[in-house]
Structures are given as structure tokens and as C-alpha cells.
Structure 1
Amino acid sequence: MFRFAAIATLASSVLIGGCLPPPPGHFGSFVTPVTPDEYGQRLCRHLDLEDYSGCLSEVLDYFEAPRPDDLPYGRNSNAGPIAMVLDQQVYLGRYDATPLVTRFRVTQGEKYCQGGYDAFAGSTDTILAVRCSDGRRGRADLTSALDGRNGIGRLELEDGTQAKIVFGYTALGQAEPYPYVHWSDPND
């Protein structure tokens, strides 16, 4: 019995650690190291080249600034801000996650996208079914950073449009007010 439990624990650790290829349908692993540069690239990629470096510097400065460790715990341990760059625009919102149910909703003005999976309703994997207010549908795959409370993801809509996702308090602080205000609207 002990030997079986040890082997199961080791196998789970390898899978969770991202050493095995992702399951079919997933864009990436379940857990991965994420650097401030990666968060910045995802949050700033919608900008023109001349504004991109300023945005990336702002994101890196945000990570270098000392902040108190006042991340919410309890119900908010697996919930928080989420940002998605879709069609050259930043959508902001909130995600709520548990091992069996995850949901998110992001908005940009009147437009929104929302998605989720629910194992209790028959979802068989952690790919989030997504629908947007303009009628487009697709799927999102989220990958946690090593701390388990932040991370990155990717949305792919049926029409081939892709979006990058960043979530968590460490990466975003909070969705409202968005910490990277100078770079949230490429038309400013």
C-alpha cells in the first residue's frame, strides 16, 4: 500500500511539475515558471513598437517596487484580477477558481468575454469554454506560475483570433484601477 501511494505521489509531482507533455487539447503545461518579462510581453504586445518599451519598463518597475505581502487569503486565495489582450485591446476582470470549477469574466467598455469549466456539470478537462459578447466562441487554457496564485494563459477563438492572458495579484495588483494605466488603450 505504501509503495503504491509513493508511486502515485511521485507521478502526480512529475505531472504537476510540467515535466510531461500537456494532455491533448491543452496549449501548455499546468504549472510553469513565469518571469516579469513574460508578464510584460503579454500585457504590452498590443502596442506599437515605440510604446512597447515604455510599457515593458512600467511592468518591470511594478515588479521591482517593494510592496507589502497583503494578498488576500481565504476565498480570494484562488481568485483575483485577470487581464486579456484581445484584438489590440486590454480586457479586465476577475477570475474565481477551485480544482473543479473555474470562471472568469473580462470587459472592455461594453464588450466582454467570459468562460469557465465545471466538473460537476460534465466538463472533463480544465480547458475553459469561452464566449464573447460579439458572438465569438473559443477556449482558454490557463497555466499557473510556480506560486499557484498567478499565471498566464492563452485564448483561441473559433475564427482563429488569439489572445494572451495574465492573472493574479502579483502580476496585476488589481484589475481596477489597472496598474499600467498609461498603456491600456492604444488609441490614447
Structure 2
Amino acid sequence: SLEYITSHDYVQLSTEKAKDSELIVLGSGNMGLIYFTQWKQRLTYEEIVMLFPELIPGLVNHSGIGFVLVNSITNGGMVIGQKGIYYLDNDKIVGENPLEDFGKNAAMHLKRQNSFDNMPDIMVNSFYDSKHDEVCAFEELIGSHGGLGGNQTRPFILYPSEWNDPGELVGAESVYRFLKREIEKLDS
């Protein structure tokens, strides 16, 4: 619940024993992936809360985090922000919408991502400052890719002028279909 998240404060913990942990944390632009490697299956929100009660509140209450995506036994995909939860399976919002500033297609992209077999136990997306159009990358780069927010959500495709205008392309599948269609025309 939102009360559970808001009742916890961010706590800075020591990382001295990180080498002994049974966890993998990967950063890709402003998206972070957290895998608990001692379990073969993806842990649910309920299991994470039971095993690591401070982890999810600690993440979402950190100023550099915009939201986390976890999967719940009872609620399915949950996008949890500091002041609200977006339930992906039924598009219900409790509190403030944590996806509000991340674009009109954010929920669609996260629903797709949450369906992948290799989805991490916790997917973390950095904050997005809409005033300055900036995200916080989890790696030492000037630009960003992989997560939601900022210029990375406004990609472009440079293609030959004789190709048909595809209109708005949303998601990897639509880009693939467009490119495949135009490349097949080259063979005919």
C-alpha cells in the first residue's frame, strides 16, 4: 500500500559486503535492473517486502528514483513511486500517478516489459525533471537510453526519402514492422 511506502525513509547503507551478495544490479542509462540470484523465479512484491522490508521503500524514497516496477501476486505489475502506485493490469492509480511525467505511452511500454521472462525482480527508473528535461543516468554517460523520460522518449529514424512515411511509430515492434516492410520492397 501507499502507506507502507510513505512510512519509510531513505537510509544510506554500507556496501562493504556487496561482493558477497547474491544479487545482480545492472544499470542501463536511467534504468536499473535488480536480480536476486539465489531464487530461480522472479520474486514478487510480497516476497520482496517479506524478505527485504526496507528495500522498496528505500528505493522509491530516494531522490534519484522516479519509480520501481515489481510484480505482485494479487495485483500484477505495480509501478511504485514516492507518492503513488500505478497498477498496470487494470490501469488503476492510488495517490499520484508515478508515470505522469514519463509520456503517454509509459504504461504500455512497462506492461510489455513486465511480460518478459527475463524481467528483473525490481526494475528501477530514475527521476525525470520535466522542467529541465533531464533524467539521472545510473552510469557515467552524458546521454541516456534504456529507461523512460527525457529525450530518449523522442527517438527518430532517418530513412531514404523514397520510403513511405510510417506515421507515428510506438514501440520496437512498430519500428521493426516499418523497416521490414520497406526492406522487403527493395527485394521486389
TM-score of the superposition, structure 1-length normalised? 0.26
Computing the radius of gyration from Cα coordinates, the structure with the larger value is 2
TM-score of the superposition, structure 2-length normalised? 0.26
